[in-house]
Structure 1
Amino acid sequence: MAQTIHEPIEAVEAQKGERRRKRRPSMRMDMWTAVSLVLLALFALFLVYPLFNVLRESIVNGEGELTFEYFYKFFANSYYFQTIKNSFVLSITVTIVSLILGVPFSYFYTFYRLRGSKVLFIGAVLSVMSAPFIGAYAWILLLGRNGVFSQLFGGAFGITLPSIYGFGGLVLVLSLKLFPLVSIYMNAAFRSIDSSLIEAATLMGSTGVKRIWQVIIRLTIPTLLAASLLVFMRTFADFGTPLLIGQNYRTFTVEIYNQYLGETGQNHNFAAAIGIIGVLVTTVVFLIQKYVAGKFNFQLKSSRPIARKRPGGIGGVLIYAYQYGLIALALLPQFYIVYLSFRNNAQSRFLPGYTLDSYRLAMNRLLERSIYNTLLMGTLALAIIILIAMLIAYLVVRRPSWLNNLIDTLSMIPYIMPGAVIGIALVISFNQGPLALTGTMAILIIAVVIRRMPYTIRSATASLMHQPLSMEEAARSLGASKFKSFWKVTVPLMGSGIASGAILSFVTIVTEMSSAIILYNNQTITLTMSAYVAITRGNYGLACAFSSILTLITALILILYLAITKEENVKL
């Protein structure tokens, strides 16, 4: 009798246990589990392993002994420690100036119906997406010791302009390049504000500048913080601009390069230690930003969009002057470089008259190879990034598990890594067998994939999170396999979300310099590196020709972006 009573109880408990097991995330070996394991293996090989090697290089000396002498050398010597302080101060300053310039620019662009607004948008994107060192090089030609503006003001008015070299020049060049990042991000945030909130604030007596600060800015704080972090990271990791105009204001990225490839001496262990310190600094900044952003964790959805108004009177004149004046100043380096590419020149001197000699010389100096390598690297890297982004987005959103969450976390690590550190990590890890990649196009592609991957992954993940699961379930119920439902249903749903971001990612790939300068050689040289080499050799006309072609490619890509998307919500 007792046995017959306990049997149903045991059966019920067994059924409960079975239901609990079904509710747990399943790790059965199926197609998607295999994809997860492959992705994890790729991250382990090309990200975790290289980072581990950089860390090992920084704490193990030439005799194989564990030591912290390289870190002690950095912090004990004020010369080296000052580089990280300089980078931090420069990044903070550029971020503040970019906010001061970018937020009003975006406000006027969004809240007013301006003539030629599309020109302002294209100019802003073209400015921020140009090769990082071209602006610095152009400003040297404009405001350098023998620059055209320096000579004009000095000769005509007896005015000595401030030097373009050092901290002030870095802030000027980087702020004019990066303020469009703030404006592009803030455009979408301002458009998401419901006009009823502004009307309510007006009825309560909040008008003018007071309303902008109390309502509009506070409603967009999450976007403001995200844009600030991106400007900070790009400034902190920038290599080309401090190298050309930093002079005595040395930053840690330039010091890494000097220690790793310097002509006066090389210390790979010390370069690795500086790289690790840089990663730690950016990690702390990233975590602080995430914590602060968590305090303002809300989203806006506008049911009544902002009604743009026509600017009029003196205020309207000032708005137009600010908008077009700022864009003209930001684009001035690009136009001046193109202009100089047609000038007669003798190495570092430009002469009266015009010619195509710079372009003819470029044809004889690896122009064809540089264009081919640039487009090949960009196309292959972008294809890999899109594939990985779609797979990771699907795994994270549709098949959450500890394994897929780990992959998602690993994919975000490069977001806080300067390009120079990635370049050093790959050289250390793949400089010899069994997988010797140094000096090949493959290692350049791997570097840019690692650097640009996090942005596309986040875009793809956000896009898929807004797509209903019911469409995939319907495909499966009609007999479609897992792979077919993913390819025929899920990919098109994500496609529109990552297509625009992919086009703009292509621009950042083809203008990559921080990691490329460590990884390139004569066979894998790109347009960016060809222009840089010409600058270092004092052949300014040739450098202008390479830079102009790179600018043209950038402009064509952006025109393609606008033609395809017909929108202004870009993801940079």
Structure 2
Amino acid sequence: MLRKYANGWNLITLFILLFFALFILFPVVLVLNKSVYNAETGFTLQHFAHFFDRKFYWVTLWNSIKVTIVATVLAVLIGLPLAYILRRVKIFGSKAIQILIIVSYISPPFIGAYAWIQLLGRGGVITKFVNDTFGLNYDGIYGFAGIVLVLTLQSFPLIFIYISGALKNVDNSLIEAAESLGYSGFQRMLKIVVPLITPTLLASALLVFMRVIADFGTPMLIGEGYRTIPVLIYTQFMSEVGGDAGFAAAIATIFIIVTIALFLVQRIISRQYSYSMSALKPMEVKKSFGIKNVLSHSVVYVIALLSILPQLVVIYTSFLETTGGQVYTGRFSLQNYETILFNRDLSMILNTYKLGFFAIIVIVIIGIFISYLTVRKRNRITSTLDTISMLPFVIPGSVLGIALVFAFNNAPFFWTGTAFIMVLAFVIRRMPYTIRSSTAIISQISPSMEEAAISLGASEKRTFFKVVVPMMMPGVLAGAIMSWITILGELSASIILYSSNTQTLAVSIYSEVIRGNFGNASAYSAILTVTSILSLLLFFKLTGKKEMNL
């Protein structure tokens, strides 16, 4: 009986389940346990009572929800019309605009926050100009408005990418019929297009919602007195190290409950709008004239400029000379690059690529096996495996960071601050990208290919490695590159887990901004931005695409 179940695929399934149980479920369970258990008093809800008794804490939760709702709605209001315009109106340079929008999405949100500080901070270029010109006393971008601005501009490209893909499946005959009935362009979009793409709209809005509510870097840099839950978790946890960590665990538990509840609500709503479309007559791009043409070009160009502006700012300021690292002299210089490349330890740059490389290897291996098991060997166990592998989409990075500290900060697993725990965090956080891409490609490969190989005498193992894996590689590599790009900018978990020996570019940028060393921060940000752009170009090269469909 034992030999019957001890075949290779079952052993691989068991190994991956143990991996997830040890490195995902076990840390999360420890967070839940620490939130309700005290070594002296046993089971207790005092940490939760403390959270809801103090207005400062529960208002912070409301702050997170409010910022997330507003940023998500604004992202939809920008991304949806933009995708529709580019799909209906012939815009000069549309391909370049789409690439610029994607580039703005792949850059970490905290770089956008830092760039807007350079523009609209208290000493920002635009702030100084406005105050000096109009005699105002504008105090900068900080607080609720600044957080919403940065996260909206960072998130709307995700809506745009998804909606652009969905619009390809909308049948143009429906729109033409509405036009013949006298519907205006806005009415056709609102009453015909939006209902048809509602499933995609809900899915992309959920991803934006989850990304925004879990963001740590943006509110930390420009929130000032406007605190959000990820910032509160970080500050409480860092102050609790060496003492009672129960309250930090309680906040993390509340956050997990909120995010899972929102995720489940979206899934329930999405099922009600679940259907497929097939466009017999796809939407056509048409040349527009007059005021409509001017407005369409103006809207597209302004949005594209605002989205790419943070990347342009950090690259531009990285070449400006500074005094003391904080005050720009206005002269161009390589001073910032000389400082970070020749007068400082290069370990944080090397760590980013080295740790990311090891993480990608693990992600690719696990992603290939999970996608194959969940599609070709589907059963209750592999379905459970598929569900657990998507948990990182729901668990915020800051929560994962403290969960890993709780689990592996004591003997015999004293891994906090090590390269192993950093790679582990990268793998857990960014694995879903590769799994989704790999699952999509394996679903498109006919089982007859494997059957033919086996009928010719190849073993199942040989068929998998010689036939299936090579056919999967385009999808696997596409997902791996997206995992790689997001690993480069990973901050929320890294800021909790890193040590001086495992500091990354993302942590370095954050640290330099906090210290006011804007020149160094710009140089680090430029390196990270250029690396992300090169990775995106590699994605296009490997997939043969000029656009991105997540």
TM-score (norm 1): 0.92
1:354 and 2:332 are equivalent in the alignment? yes
1:466 and 2:441 are equivalent in the alignment? no
- Where do residues 439-518 of structure 1 align in structure 2 (5 Å cutoff)? 439-518=417-496
What's the offset of the Cα at 1:363? Answer: 2.0
What's the offset of the Cα at 1:348? Answer: 2.0
Match of 1:96 among 62, 73, 78: 73
Q: For residue 29 of structure 1, what is the amino acid of its counterpart?
A: A
Q: For 1:267 and 1:354, how far apart are their aligned partners in 2?
A: 50
Match of 1:85 in 2: 62
1:571–1:238 CA distance, 2 compared to 1 (3 A): farther
- Where do residues 545-560 of structure 1 align in structure 2 (5 Å cutoff)? 545-560=523-538
User: Which stretch shows the higher mean deviation, 477-486 or 219-228?
Assistant: 477-486
What's the offset of the Cα at 1:569? Answer: 5.0
1:148 and 2:125 are equivalent in the alignment? yes
Q: For 1:420 and 1:518, how far apart are their aligned partners in 2?
A: 7
1:267–1:546 CA distance, 2 compared to 1 (3 A): farther
1:28–1:303 CA distance, 2 compared to 1 (3 A): farther
Match of 1:418 among 396, 404, 412: 396
Match of 1:398 among 366, 369, 376: 376
1:571–1:422 CA distance, 2 compared to 1 (3 A): farther
What's the offset of the Cα at 1:248? Answer: 1.6
Match of 1:370 in 2: 348
Maintained 8 Å contact 1:256/1:420: yes
Q: For 2:223 and 2:241, how far apart are their aligned partners in 1?
A: 19
1:312 and 2:289 are equivalent in the alignment? yes
Q: For residue 166 of structure 1, what is the amino acid of its counterpart?
A: G
Match of 1:21 in 2: none
Match of 2:97 in 1: 120
Match of 2:362 in 1: 384
1:43–1:100 CA distance, 2 compared to 1 (3 A): same
Maintained 8 Å contact 2:433/2:480: no
Determine helix, strand or coil for the equivalent of 2:414: coil
Q: For residue 193 of structure 1, what is the amino acid of its counterpart?
A: V
Match of 1:539 in 2: 517
Determine helix, strand or coil for the equivalent of 1:353: strand
What's the offset of the Cα at 1:161? Answer: 4.4
User: Which stretch shows the higher mean deviation, 214-223 or 352-361?
Assistant: 352-361
What's the offset of the Cα at 1:113? Answer: 2.6
What's the offset of the Cα at 1:489? Answer: 2.0
Maintained 8 Å contact 1:182/1:227: yes
Match of 1:137 in 2: 114
State how many pairs are aligned. Answer: 547
Match of 2:299 in 1: 322
CA-to-partner distance for each residue in 1:6-48, whole Å, 9 max, x for gaps?
A: xxxxxxxxxxxxxxxxxxxx97331111111111111111111
Q: For residue 142 of structure 2, what is the amino acid of its counterpart?
A: Y
User: Which stretch shows the higher mean deviation, 326-335 or 491-500?
Assistant: 491-500
User: Which stretch shows the higher mean deviation, 550-559 or 280-289?
Assistant: 550-559
Match of 1:202 among 163, 179, 200: 179
User: Which stretch shows the higher mean deviation, 498-507 or 78-87?
Assistant: 498-507
Maintained 8 Å contact 2:173/2:281: yes
1:146–1:400 CA distance, 2 compared to 1 (3 A): same
- Where do residues 101-250 of structure 1 align in structure 2 (5 Å cutoff)? 101-161=78-138, 163-250=140-227
Q: For 1:459 and 1:185, how far apart are their aligned partners in 2?
A: 15
Q: For residue 330 of structure 2, what is the amino acid of its counterpart?
A: P
What's the offset of the Cα at 1:203? Answer: 4.2
Match of 1:432 in 2: 410
1:545–1:316 CA distance, 2 compared to 1 (3 A): same
Q: For 2:162 and 2:373, how far apart are their aligned partners in 1?
A: 27
- Where do residues 26-45 of structure 1 align in structure 2 (5 Å cutoff)? 28-45=5-22
Q: For 2:479 and 2:15, how far apart are their aligned partners in 1?
A: 25
Match of 1:530 in 2: 508
Q: For 2:214 and 2:423, how far apart are their aligned partners in 1?
A: 19
Match of 1:73 in 2: 50
What's the offset of the Cα at 1:65? Answer: 2.0
Q: For residue 135 of structure 2, what is the amino acid of its counterpart?
A: G
Determine helix, strand or coil for the equivalent of 2:331: strand
Determine helix, strand or coil for the equivalent of 2:350: helix
What's the offset of the Cα at 1:444? Answer: 0.8
Q: For 2:174 and 2:250, how far apart are their aligned partners in 1?
A: 51
Match of 2:309 among 326, 332, 346: 332
1:183–1:162 CA distance, 2 compared to 1 (3 A): farther
Where has structure 1 moved over 6 Å in runs of 4 or more?
A: 263-266
Match of 1:12 in 2: none
1:344 and 2:321 are equivalent in the alignment? yes
What's the offset of the Cα at 1:311? Answer: 2.7
Match of 1:289 in 2: 266
User: Which stretch shows the higher mean deviation, 451-460 or 165-174?
Assistant: 451-460
Sequence identity (%): 42
Maintained 8 Å contact 2:158/2:208: yes
Maintained 8 Å contact 2:397/2:492: yes
1:490–1:556 CA distance, 2 compared to 1 (3 A): same
Determine helix, strand or coil for the equivalent of 2:346: helix
Determine helix, strand or coil for the equivalent of 2:375: helix
- Where do residues 265-280 of structure 1 align in structure 2 (5 Å cutoff)? 267-280=244-257
Q: For residue 284 of structure 2, what is the amino acid of its counterpart?
A: A
1:513–1:266 CA distance, 2 compared to 1 (3 A): farther
Q: For 2:21 and 2:389, how far apart are their aligned partners in 1?
A: 11
What's the offset of the Cα at 1:120? Answer: 0.9
1:263–1:414 CA distance, 2 compared to 1 (3 A): closer
Q: For 1:428 and 1:262, how far apart are their aligned partners in 2?
A: 15
Q: For residue 271 of structure 1, what is the amino acid of its counterpart?
A: A
Q: For 1:491 and 1:86, how far apart are their aligned partners in 2?
A: 46
What's the offset of the Cα at 1:343? Answer: 1.5
CA-to-partner distance for each residue in 1:217-269, whole Å, 9 max, x for gaps?
A: 11111110011001100110000000011112110100011111149996521
What's the offset of the Cα at 1:396? Answer: 1.2
Q: For residue 100 of structure 2, what is the amino acid of its counterpart?
A: G
Q: For the pair shown, which has the larger CA radius of gyration, 1 or 2?
A: 1
Structure 2 stretches of 5 or more lacking a match?
none
User: Which stretch shows the higher mean deviation, 188-197 or 164-173?
Assistant: 188-197
1:356–1:427 CA distance, 2 compared to 1 (3 A): same
Q: For 2:22 and 2:465, how far apart are their aligned partners in 1?
A: 27
Q: For 1:154 and 1:238, how far apart are their aligned partners in 2?
A: 31
User: Which stretch shows the higher mean deviation, 83-92 or 57-66?
Assistant: 57-66
Maintained 8 Å contact 1:169/1:245: yes
Q: For 2:544 and 2:404, how far apart are their aligned partners in 1?
A: 39
Determine helix, strand or coil for the equivalent of 1:114: coil
